[in-house]
Structure 1
Amino acid sequence: MARGVRAKRATAVTDASIVRHSALRSSLGLVAAKAAQTGAGFAFWIVAARATSDREVGLTTAAVSAVMICTQLAVLGAGSAVIVSVGRGEPPARVLDAAFAIVGVAGTVLALGYLVLQSVVAPDTASASVLFWLTFLVAAVAGTLVIVLDQALVALGRGSSATLRYALGGGVSLAAAGLVAWRAHGASADVLMACWTLGTAVACVVGAVQLRRLVGYRPRPSLRSARGRPLLALGIPHQLLTLTERTPGLVLPLLLAHMVAPEAAAYWYPAWMMAWAAYTAPVLMGIVQFSEGVRDADRLVSTTWASLRWSLTVGGLAAAVLVLFAHPLLNLLGERYAESSAGALRWLAAGLVPYAVLQAYNAVCRASGRYAEAIVVGVALGTALCASALAAADRGATAMALAWLVVLSIGAVMVGLRLVAVLRRVTQDAP
């Protein structure tokens, strides 16, 4: 009887997933979702900057970066493993049960580990309040689950569903910050963190509801080794590659807050956050490119060039807006932010082109199993990016961004040449 129920459940999810949206629709839906999230996030930091001091804003940005690092570590490649497993025809329900269980436990452990480590290593910038610890923990776990939700729905051909959950999550977070700013000027970092966490939690809940309504999936997390081991074996190489992409941007605000000054992190983070809004186009196009490459390897070359064109088109439009309106956008946070970070934003926005090339290369390496090569390249490039930016930190955010752009461009030229060579080999090996 139990076997029959499990088989029926797996079949229901598989049948529902047959109604797939096109790769382009999924890509543009994800881009729209991230645009909504970034827009709400930018508005959140505008409210935060006017609700409290630069120091509290800097500490909050450092905490948010720490949460994002925890989520990137805790996901353990589960989202990529879901894409590969579902693309190979495995029952989605069984794969998702294992994925959600793994990342839930990992997110909890890593969040608690970070909080304890920060209290020991940097007690002067650590918060001992119960509110901060609770919201940090919730943000890390919910954020990790959202990453898996995003990639699971991409694998099931419903990536465009992300728009609703990110719009709702961002709106709730912004409304909470606005209420805090209205009721009490000079809010502490833990209160701002709680507002930011609320939006992440809402996005996670909405995503779970969508997964059930769109594909009939009901979460039943399982830590059985027979399910978890294959998922980890697939996912960890992918996650190591993802970490090389995301860690430099996430760890730099932490380094600035603890090694330079919280104010330095406060001035750098808004520029990086807005530039990341443009960078998400190639990131999300790369996820769909990877998913389609796993599902249909014969179209890897054509999918790669199409994804790169769309990355440059959509991301380039966003980057152009940032270059043209850098000063007025940052001025919304305050004149000191505009004076300190407008130049940095322009240089970072110009990095959209080399970043798109890097994402196309990484997506091809994921789809073709060239993990080791891409990981080595990513570690070397990420180390160089952080080192160059920190070396220029004493000259301000603009000098940091210029150093970042130079290193990223050099790296893009190298991986671009390698990308062309790999795609030529794929074409030659095709039957």
Structure 2
Amino acid sequence: MTDSTLARPATGPLARLRVAAADSLFRNSAFLLLATVELAAGGFLFWQMVAHLFPAAEVGRASALISASVLIGSCALLGMHNAVIRYLHTWEDDAATVDTALTTVLVAATAGALAFVALAPAVAPELAGLLRHPLNAALFVLLTSGYAVNMVGDNVFVAARRSGFVLGRNTVVVVLRLLLPLACLGLGALGIFTAYQGAMVAALVVYLFALRRVLGLPSRLRLRWDRLAAMWRYSAWNYLATVILMLPALLMPILVAERVDPASAAYYYVAALLAGTLAFVPQATSRSFFAEAERDPARMRASLGRVVRLTVAVELPMLLALLLGGHFALSLFGGQYAAAYPLLVVLALTQALTSIGYVGSTVLMVLGRLRLLCALSAVASAAALLGAYLLVGRGLIWAGWSLLIGEVILAAIYLLLIRSVLAASGTVRACVPSRLR
């Protein structure tokens, strides 16, 4: 055997896999993708079980209550989940940064949930009856706050390039979500809500253990005002952009329940649940890209190109599979749910375009162009919500068409942005075209 043979690098699938595993962008993305697929698969089984155990009207009320809880928890993040990625390694005391973010979000989520309970008779009469009892209201507040804290925890481990713990946490969530509905049969919509969000809150033990024992960041409820002051401007704009982006998807089940009926909300929620699987890849790759770009801004353009190629390569086959198998997948929830297949097609196309938005919005976050991000998101969200409010009474599918129109507007602008960043020369901070600043 010659020296040249000995020096030849190893080739083949295993060698390529080892090279990919050594790439932190790929590794972080892979763990996040697996974690998201696992959670979604568990959610699929959860809603399939629930659809057979509970009447459609109860499923519709529960989906609206869950959407309200997720919306409040997402608003309560105040942008701190992304500020953790941007600032975790800025100061030596990482624990103080994490504690400040967790404490801020916990207080905001508790206040938001209490406000919703108080205002429910006016803003969501269909849900007010579920929250009238003090114990039910307290449960809603507790589970909503715990959900928000979990979302911050996700990004702590993304920033630390230890997304394997997100996968571990999701395993616990899935197991609990498949066990708890049987224990909540007599509680109706509130039982479904408790099983869904309670599993997430109970699984927090995984994050608390990992923060202390693995990352060496003992989590305590303490607020460092100096950290909050340093993070606030970025997190506030990020918060506003995130809330605007999430409003159409989270408000739609509530809008359908109020303007059509609870059963239609259930059909919409299940169709949106299936279409949402198309967001798995861009969610994972964009968050990993964000963490990598903040650690090494010089590699932003190279990382962006890899993220775009990976997202497209996986997204297109997933879209085709969903379009071909969507009718069958809906029927697994019950015969009446299969009628929502036309809505599923529209929502699937919407989610495919949302992939462009995930990547484009992450580019703007890295570049610090958060005002532009807010403006673009506001235009798309306003178009979607206004269209749904005016047209959903004519038929459930109009909720899907309204979302698609908003996403087309957003995707067209983001495609221009991504192309400009990939083609530009010079520093990444100068990559945004002047007409988009």
Q: TM-score when scaled to structure 1?
A: 0.88
Kindly report which structure 2 residues correspond to 1:87-126, keeping only aligned pairs within 5 A, or say none. Answer: 87-126=89-128
Q: What SS is found at the alignment partner of 2:426? A: helix
Q: How far apart in 1 are the matches of 2:92 and 2:320?
A: 42
Work out whether 1:160 is the aligned partner of 2:159: no
Does the CA contact (< 8 Å) of 2:381 and 2:406 recur in 1? no
- The yes-or-no answer on 1:139 pairing with 2:143 is yes
Aligned twin of 2:54: 52
Match of 1:393 in 2: 392
| Cα offset, 1:156, TM superposition | 0.6
Over 3 Å counting, the alpha-carbon distance change for 1:297 and 1:124 in structure 2 is closer
SS at match of 2:203: helix
| TM-superposed deviation, 1:333 | 1.3
Q: Secondary structure at the match of 2:172?
A: helix
1:295 Cα deviation (Å)? Answer: 1.1
Shift in Å, 1:170: 1.9
SS at match of 1:362: helix
Structure 1 equivalent of residue 14 of structure 2: none
More off after superposition, 106-115 vs 218-227: 218-227
Q: 2:31 pairs with 12, 29, 32, which one?
A: 29
What is the deviation of 1:76?
A: 0.9
Q: Please list the CA deviations of residues 50-85 of structure 1 after superposition, one character each: whole Å capped at 9, or x if unmatched.
A: 222221111100110011111111111111111111
- 1:92-133 alpha-carbon deviations (Å, 9 max, x no partner): 111011111111111111111111110344444312134432
Does the C-alpha gap of structure 1 residues 420 and 148 become closer, same or farther in structure 2, counting only changes over 3 Å?
same
Distance 1:251 1:238, change over 3 A: same
- Correspondence 1:243 to 2:243: yes
Of residues 393-402 and 38-47 in structure 1, the stretch that sits farther from structure 2 once superposed is 393-402
Deviating more after overlay: 242-251 vs 130-139: 130-139
Q: Which residue in the other structure is 1:343 paired with?
A: 342
Q: Which amino acid aligns with 1:400?
A: A
CA RMSD of aligned residues (A): 2.1
Assess, with a 3 A threshold, how the Cα gap between structure 1 residues 135 and 332 changes in structure 2: closer, same or farther: farther
2:66 counterpart residue number: 64
Show structure 1 runs of 5+ residues with no match.
Answer: 1-19
In structure 2, the residue matched to 1:384 is 383
The one-letter amino acid of 1:371's match is L
1:172 alignment partner in structure 2 = 176
Q: Which residue of 1 aligns with 2:13?
A: none
SS at match of 1:157: coil
Equivalent position SS for 2:192: helix
Which whole-Å deviations, capped at 9, do the CAs of 1:17-50 have from their partners, x for residues lacking one? xxx9711111111111111111111211112222
Native 8 Å contact 2:343 2:396 kept in 1: yes
How far the C-alpha of 1:399 sits from its partner, in A, is 3.9
Which aligned pairs between 1:29-428 and structure 2 lie closer than 5 A?
29-126=31-128, 127=130, 128-181=132-185, 187-339=187-339, 341-425=340-424, 427-428=425-426
Letter in 2 for 1:368: L
Deviations 1:169-188 (A, max 9, x none): 1220121113445xx5xx51
TM-score computed with the length of structure 2 as normaliser? 0.87
Counterparts of 1:172 and 1:312, CA distance in 2: 33
**SS at the partner of 1:428?**
coil
Question: Given that residues 380 and 409 in structure 2 are in contact (C-alpha distance below 8 angstroms), is that contact kept between their aligned partners in structure 1?
Answer: no
Paired amino acid for 1:360? V
Deviation at 1:312, TM superposition (A): 2.4
SS at match of 1:188: helix
- Number of aligned pairs? 406
Please report how far the alpha carbon of residue 424 of structure 1 lies from its aligned counterpart in structure 2 after TM superposition.
3.8
Larger Rg: 2
1:90 deviation in Å?
4.2
- Structure 2: how far apart are the matches of 1:165 and 1:124? 33
Distance in structure 2 (CA, Å) of the matches to 1:332 and 1:385: 29
Distance in 1, matches of 2:318 and 2:73, equals: 26
**Please, which runs of 5 or more residues in structure 2 have no aligned partner?**
1-21, 431-437
Q: Identify which range, 301-310 or 373-382, moves more after superposition.
A: 301-310
CA distance, structure 2, for counterparts of residue 310 and residue 422 of structure 1: 17
TM-aligned CA distance change 1:120 to 1:165, over 3 Å:
same
Residues 124 and 60 of structure 1: is their aligned pair in 2 closer, same or farther, counting only changes over 3 Å? closer
Map of 2:7 onto structure 1: none
CA 1:51–1:264: 2 relative to 1, 3 Å:
same
> Are the counterparts in 1 of residues 377 and 410 from structure 2 also a CA contact under 8 Å?
no
1:247–1:382 Cα contact (<8 Å) kept: yes
Aligned twin of 2:9: none
Instruction: Give the 3 Å change call, closer, same or farther, for CA 121–81 of structure 1 in structure 2.
Output: closer
Q: Percent identity?
A: 26
CA distance in 1, matches of 2:257, 2:223: 37
CA distance in 1, matches of 2:338, 2:173: 27
Give the counterpart letter for 2:377 in structure 1: G
SS of 2:214's equivalent? helix
2:323, 2:139 → 1: CA distance? Answer: 35
Aligned partners of 2:85 and 2:291 also within 8 Å: yes
Q: Could you list the structure 1 runs, at least 4 aligned residues long, displaced by more than 4 angstroms after superposition.
A: none
In structure 2, how many angstroms separate the alpha carbons of the residues matched to 1:294 and 1:80?
11
In the alignment, the residues of structure 1 paired with residue 117 and residue 319 of structure 2 have an alpha-carbon distance, to the nearest angstrom, of 35
Q: Call closer, same or farther: CA 1:269–1:35 in 2, change over 3 Å.
A: same
Contact 1:99 1:231 in 2 (8 A): no
Q: Secondary structure at the match of 2:223?
A: coil
State the distance in 2 between where 1:320 and 1:211 align.
40
Give per-residue Cα distances to partners, 1:184-222, cap 9 Å, x unaligned: 5xx511121111122111232222222223212211121
Equivalence for 1:3: none
Tell me by how many angstroms 1:168 deviates: 1.2
Q: Report if the CA contact (8 A) 1:240-1:375 is conserved.
A: yes
What is the identity, as a one-letter code, of the residue corresponding to 1:318?
M
